[in-house]
Structure 1
Amino acid sequence: MTVPVRVTGAAPRLPLVQRRRVGASGLEVSRLGLGTMMWGAETDAETAAEVLAAFVDAGGTLVETADAYAEGAAQEVLGTLLAKVGRDRLVIAARCALPHGALGDGPARGALLTALDATLVRLGTDHVDLWQLPAFDPSIPLDETLSAVQVAVYQGKARYCGLVGPQGWQLATVAERARTLGPVAIPASAQVEYSLLHRAAEHELLPAAAHHGIGVLAWAPLGRGVLTGKYIGGTPADSRAASPTMAAYVEARRTERASRIVAAVMTAADGLGTTPLAIAMAWVRDRPGVASALVGARDARQLAASLAAEPVTLPAEIREALDDVSAVPQPA
């Protein structure tokens, strides 16, 4: 379901972002989501304020954050901005990274709830709209992890829950078990990497999500920046690939296969009179089951480029051509 966003006040200068339901849940989010991984690190508070204001003015609602981003600084920056943009205009998806040994052994109930309380303090709010948990940990009873969700929802600290990076069988296992415990524990979403360069989610995760009515939040929809074509002639000095902390993150997607896909994306962009970014974004955004595509814009200029993709819809023949050039063999 896609409906126009209604924004009061002055009309935004950028295309209005549309909204979608997350799977079969009642949660509604903008189909373009804003990631905050670089906030408090490469993106300072002033720049983050500009990005968030532009995002909200364009009708964006979904903001993704995590306690591990810049060691909590990203959430602190976001917390300082909530009052300025209006907490009720945002859907905050807070990811709980929770490495082993941090506050206990994996996603135990006490560790999860303690981490959630810390997130709420950093954000300066009494609840998150979507609490995203580690995908699966066989060392912790699943019922215990799900009971943490029940406690958080009943206490009003979380409205919905989701999983980060699950495999298809893990998502299905969690969904089936959650149904026996009550509706509040059923995951509304699964956040996974998904792009023309990385289609592994299609093998099991997307079918499992569709079967269980779970919406997909696609991170790195631009192939970690590779699909924009910026790396065709080398590595720009101001790109993530030039950053010591992010180089490996980008290099993992700079392959010979990627070069062929990027060439096809650029051809499609020329044919439609738009940008490679818009082509790549529209492909992911409109895949079945995707509720929102998350972009980690470092500044207002990058955000504007992503927002400009909002009105782009790929013709069937272009979508099929991109499907073919990026296809990966199904596992045996």
Structure 2
Amino acid sequence: LVRAGKVRYLGVSNFSGWQAMKSLAVAERYGHPRYVAHQVYYSLIGRDYEWELMPLGLDQGLGALVWSPLGWGRLTGKIRRGQPLPANSRLHSTADYGPPVEDEHLYRVIDALDEIAQETGKSLPQIAINWLLQRPTVSSVIIGARDEKQLRQNLGAVGWTLTPDQQARLDAASEKTAPYPYFPYQRQEGFALLNPPVVAAT
């Protein structure tokens, strides 16, 4: 389809690192068009993408198209510590299908977003999306607005930039220890010197 001019570029969705790399290697071996985009889950409360897929994307020129940038609706500001889940939240029916998030981890990120919202005058979703747009390899985000108001609010995530200090505070609030074999690179100086992480631990 690419060679026939019917498709300009190829992308993939939700591949693991080894699947994406194997596909790229097969394409290179046989002279086929390579994937240039990877649709992935990535958010302030779901940063697993950084451990393997982000370094792969940098190395192989694979841009990320981020789905669920608001963490399954958890970063809208409607979910608060000590308050019940709003009655109209889609999480009542969809939480089991989305990436799991520990409550305290979510609240820590919400607290950091609230601080930065006070400083910038921006909404929590705008800050969360803006943070993503400044991350390595992220080409675009896929927003899922329920109505025109949400769409307009999400579009307000562009045209301004978080400061380095604000980014660092969001990084710190949302950081989690990486699983093996990635945590040695995050926690042990010798490993980090051999293969520095794309996004430095705070």
TM-score (norm 1): 0.51
Aligned pair partner of 1:308 in 156, 167, 188: 156
How far residue 248 of structure 1 moved from its aligned partner, in angstroms, is: 2.6
2:42 corresponds to 1:190: no
Q: Which residue does 1:239 correspond to in 2?
A: 89
Give the corresponding residue for 2:26.
Answer: 177
Distance 1:287 1:188 in 2: 17
Q: How does 1:13-24 map to 2 (within 5 A)?
A: none
Residue pairs, 1:152-301, within 5 angstroms: 152-184=1-33, 186-232=34-80, 233-242=83-92, 244=93, 246-249=94-97, 252-253=100-101, 255-301=103-149
CA deviations over 1:60-118 (Å, ceiling 9, x no partner): xxxxxxxxxxxxxxxxxxxxxxxxxxxxxxxxxxxxxxxxxxxxxxxxxxxxxxxxxxx
* Corresponding residue SS for 1:201: helix
Q: What's the CA shift string for 1:26-73, capped at 9, x where partnerless?
A: xxxxxxxxxxxxxxxxxxxxxxxxxxxxxxxxxxxxxxxxxxxxxxxx
By how many angstroms is 1:158 displaced? Answer: 2.2
Does the 8 Å contact 2:44/2:71 carry over to 1?
yes
Letter of the aligned partner of 1:253 in structure 2? Answer: V
Specify the structure having the higher radius of gyration (Cα).
1
> Corresponding residue for 2:187?
none
Aligned pairs for 1:314-329 (under 5 A) are 314-329=162-177
Q: Would the aligned equivalents of 1:226 and 1:262 in 2 still touch at CA under 8 Å? A: no
CA 1:279/1:211 → structure 2, altered by over 3 Å: closer, same or farther? same
What CA distance in whole angstroms lies between the structure 2 residues aligned with 1:206 and 1:234?
Answer: 35
Q: What CA distance in whole angstroms lies between the structure 1 residues aligned with 2:116 and 2:97?
A: 26
Q: Is the 8 A contact 2:113 2:170 kept in 1?
A: yes
Q: Tell me the distance in 2 between the aligned counterparts of 1:203 and 1:316.
A: 21
Deviations 1:274-310 (A, max 9, x none): 1111110111111011000111112111101101111
TM-score calculated relative to the size of structure 2: 0.81
**Cα drift, residue 259 of structure 1:** 1.1
| Amino acid corresponding to residue 24 of structure 2 in structure 1 | A
Q: Is the 8 A contact 1:169 1:204 kept in 2?
A: no
**Rounded Cα–Cα distance in structure 2 between residues aligned with 1:165 and 1:271:** 35
| Structure 1 residue 263 displacement after superposition | 1.1
The sequence identity of aligned pairs, in percent, is 37
CA deviations on 1:146-175 (whole Å, 9 max, x unpaired) are: xxxxxx223444221111111222212211
Unaligned runs of 5+ in 2: 181-202
* Stretches of structure 1 lacking an aligned partner (at least 5 in a row): 1-151
Aligned residue for 2:177, secondary structure, equals coil
- Alpha-carbon distance, 1:223 to partner: 1.1
Count of residue pairs brought into register by the alignment: 178
SS at match of 1:293: strand
Please give the alpha-carbon distance, in whole angstroms, between the structure 1 residues aligned to 2:6 and 2:90.
Answer: 35
Q: Cα–Cα, structure 1 residues 253 and 312, in superposed 2: closer, same or farther, change >3 Å?
A: farther
What is the one-letter code of the residue matched to 1:216? A
- RMSD (Å) for aligned C-alpha atoms: 1.7
Distance in 1 between residues matched to 2:97 and 2:114, nearest whole Å: 22
Partner of 2:194: none
Per the TM alignment, residue 250 of structure 1 is displaced from its structure 2 partner at its CA by: 5.7
The residue aligned with 1:30 is none
* Deviation of 1:183 (Å): 4.9
1:331 aligns with 2:179: yes
Contact 2:46 2:99 in 1 (8 A): no
CA contact (8 A) 1:169 1:208 kept: no
Q: Is the 8 A contact 2:14 2:38 kept in 1?
A: yes
- The alpha carbon displacement at 1:179 in A equals 1.2
